[in-house]
Structure 1
Amino acid sequence: MISIPDLIKTNRHYFHKLVASARGCKSPDKQAALCSQAAIFAVRNPCGIFNSWPLEETLLKLADGIASPMASQPEAESFLHVLTRAYASGGHTRVAERWINAAPASGRHDVVLLSQGDRPVPKTLEAATHGKHGKVMHLNAGLHLAKARQLRSLASNYQHIILHVHMYDILPLLAFGTPHFPRPITLYNHADHLFWTGVSIADNVVNFRSLATYINTEFRHIPAERNQLLPLPVTQPPTPLLREHRQNLKAELGLPEDSQVILTMASPYKYAAIEHIDFLATAESILTHNPRAFLIAIGPSLKNPTWQAASQRTGGRIKALGRLPYTEVDRYLTLADLALDSFPFASLTAMLDIARHKIPCLTLHTPVNSYDAFTRAGIVCATPQEVAQRALQELANPSPSTLFPIIEQESLPQGFARHVETQQKALQKTHKVYSFTTDNRSHPTEMELFIGLNHHANISGLKAKVALGIQKSIHKLLRILPLRLIPAPVYSRLESYGIL
Structure 2
Amino acid sequence: MDVKLKKELENYNYLKSKAIAAFREGKLEQALDYAYVAATYAWSVHLGIWYDEELEYLLSKIGECVNEGKDKFKYNLNKNQEKQKDVKSIAYVVSSLNDVGGHSEVLRQWVDILSNFVNDQYLYITNVSNLPTKYSYLNNFKNKGITIKQLDHNDSYVDRIKELIEYLGNDLPDITILFINPNDVIAVTTLLTIPNKPYVIFFNHADHVFWLGRNIVDLLVEWRSESVKYSKKFRKIDKSCIVPLTTNIKPQKVSKTFYDIPENSTLSISVGNFYKVLRDPDWDFFKTIEELLEKFPNHYHLFVTNPPPRNVLEKYLPADPDTRQRLIIDGPLPHLEAVYGVADFLIETFPCAGGMVRVEAMACGLPIIAIRNKKFSLLSETDALPPDYPFIASTEKEVVRYSSEFIENPEIRDQVGKWLYKYYKQKFSPEKVREILSSIIKNKINGENKVEMQSNFEELSYNLEYAYSWSRKNSRFGPNRNLLFQSILKQSAFSGRHRFKFYIESIKNREFISKKELVGSIVLAVVGWRGGILCKSLVLKRRMKFNVKK
Q: TM-score when scaled to structure 1?
A: 0.84
Number of the residue aligned with 1:57: 57
Q: Once the two structures are superposed, what CA deviation does each residue of 1:128-179 show, in whole Å capped at 9, x if it has no partner?
A: 5643x31332113421121112112212421111110111111112111036
Q: 2:288 aligns with which of 282, 285, 301?
A: 282
Q: 1:97 touches 1:125 (CA, 8 Å); kept in 2?
A: no
Paired with 1:294 and 1:265, the residues of 2 have a C-alpha distance of 15
Give 1:81 deviation, angstroms: 1.1
Give the AA of the match of 1:321.
D
Give 1:454 deviation, angstroms: 2.0
Number of the residue aligned with 1:110: 122
Give 1:338 deviation, angstroms: 0.3
The verdict on how the C-alpha distance between 1:231 and 1:40 changes in structure 2, with shifts beyond 3 A counting, is: same
Paired with 1:196 and 1:431, the residues of 2 have a C-alpha distance of 25
Q: 2:222 touches 2:243 (CA, 8 Å); kept in 1?
A: yes
Paired with 1:217 and 1:493, the residues of 2 have a C-alpha distance of 41
Number of the residue aligned with 2:135: 122
Larger relative contact order (CA 8 Å, sep ≥ 6): 1
Give 1:415 deviation, angstroms: 1.7
Give 1:481 deviation, angstroms: 1.6
Paired with 2:207 and 2:228, the residues of 1 have a C-alpha distance of 9
Give the AA of the match of 1:420.
L
Give 1 or 2 for the bigger CA radius of gyration: 2
Paired with 1:200 and 1:143, the residues of 2 have a C-alpha distance of 24
The verdict on how the C-alpha distance between 1:14 and 1:476 changes in structure 2, with shifts beyond 3 A counting, is: farther
Number of the residue aligned with 1:390: 402
Paired with 2:317 and 2:48, the residues of 1 have a C-alpha distance of 34
Q: 1:260 touches 1:293 (CA, 8 Å); kept in 2?
A: yes
Give 1:480 deviation, angstroms: 5.2
Q: 2:87 touches 2:445 (CA, 8 Å); kept in 1?
A: no
Q: 2:202 aligns with which of 184, 187, 197?
A: 187
Paired with 1:413 and 1:334, the residues of 2 have a C-alpha distance of 20
Number of the residue aligned with 1:251: 257
The verdict on how the C-alpha distance between 1:480 and 1:87 changes in structure 2, with shifts beyond 3 A counting, is: closer
Give 1:233 deviation, angstroms: 1.8
Paired with 2:446 and 2:299, the residues of 1 have a C-alpha distance of 54
Q: 1:12 aligns with which of 9, 12, 23?
A: 9
Paired with 1:145 and 1:429, the residues of 2 have a C-alpha distance of 36
Matched ranges for 1:29-428 at <5 A: 29-67=29-67, 69-70=74-75, 73=78, 76-103=87-114, 105-107=116-118, 108-115=120-127, 119=132, 121-128=134-141, 130-131=143-144, 133-140=145-152, 141-156=154-169, 157=171, 158-178=173-193, 180-222=195-237, 224=238, 226-237=239-250, 240-241=252-253, 246-247=254-255, 250-301=256-307, 303=310, 304-309=313-318, 312=321, 314-324=323-333, 326=334, 328-366=335-373, 367=376, 368-374=379-385, 376=387, 378=389, 379-397=391-409, 398=413, 399-401=415-417, 402-427=419-444
Q: 2:88 touches 2:174 (CA, 8 Å); kept in 1?
A: yes
Q: Once the two structures are superposed, what CA deviation does each residue of 1:3-53 show, in whole Å capped at 9, x if it has no partner?
A: x82222211111111111110111122211211111111111222211111
Number of the residue aligned with 1:435: none
Q: Once the two structures are superposed, what CA deviation does each residue of 1:192-211 show, in whole Å capped at 9, x if it has no partner?
A: 11010001111111111112
Identity of aligned residues (%): 17
Q: 1:99 touches 1:233 (CA, 8 Å); kept in 2?
A: no
The verdict on how the C-alpha distance between 1:259 and 1:313 changes in structure 2, with shifts beyond 3 A counting, is: closer
Q: 2:151 touches 2:163 (CA, 8 Å); kept in 1?
A: yes
Q: 1:481 aligns with which of 495, 505, 511?
A: 495
SS of the equivalent of 1:150 reads: helix
Q: Kindly indicate which of the two structures has a greater share of residues assigned to helix.
A: 2
Paired with 2:320 and 2:157, the residues of 1 have a C-alpha distance of 46
The verdict on how the C-alpha distance between 1:373 and 1:310 changes in structure 2, with shifts beyond 3 A counting, is: farther
CA RMSD of aligned residues (A): 3.2
Paired with 1:311 and 1:105, the residues of 2 have a C-alpha distance of 55
Q: 1:117 touches 1:493 (CA, 8 Å); kept in 2?
A: no
Paired with 1:489 and 1:457, the residues of 2 have a C-alpha distance of 29
Q: 1:298 touches 1:322 (CA, 8 Å); kept in 2?
A: yes
The verdict on how the C-alpha distance between 1:412 and 1:447 changes in structure 2, with shifts beyond 3 A counting, is: farther
Paired with 2:536 and 2:445, the residues of 1 have a C-alpha distance of 36
Number of the residue aligned with 1:440: none
Give the AA of the match of 2:481.
I
Q: TM-score when scaled to structure 2?
A: 0.77
Question: Structure 1: any 5+ residue segments left out of the alignment?
Answer: 433-443
Q: 1:204 touches 1:427 (CA, 8 Å); kept in 2?
A: no
The verdict on how the C-alpha distance between 1:475 and 1:430 changes in structure 2, with shifts beyond 3 A counting, is: farther
Q: 2:33 touches 2:486 (CA, 8 Å); kept in 1?
A: no
Give the AA of the match of 1:70.
Y
Paired with 2:131 and 2:416, the residues of 1 have a C-alpha distance of 44
SS of the equivalent of 1:416 reads: helix
Give 1:429 deviation, angstroms: 7.8
Paired with 1:362 and 1:297, the residues of 2 have a C-alpha distance of 14
SS of the equivalent of 1:314 reads: helix
SS of the equivalent of 1:421 reads: helix
Question: Structure 2: any 5+ residue segments left out of the alignment?
Answer: 450-459, 499-526, 541-550
Q: 2:176 touches 2:199 (CA, 8 Å); kept in 1?
A: yes
Q: 2:202 touches 2:217 (CA, 8 Å); kept in 1?
A: yes
Paired with 1:429 and 1:146, the residues of 2 have a C-alpha distance of 36
The answer on 1:452 being equivalent to 2:468 is yes
The verdict on how the C-alpha distance between 1:320 and 1:377 changes in structure 2, with shifts beyond 3 A counting, is: farther
Paired with 1:283 and 1:169, the residues of 2 have a C-alpha distance of 38
Aligned residues: 465
SS of the equivalent of 2:202 reads: strand
Give the AA of the match of 2:157.
H
Give 1:386 deviation, angstroms: 1.3
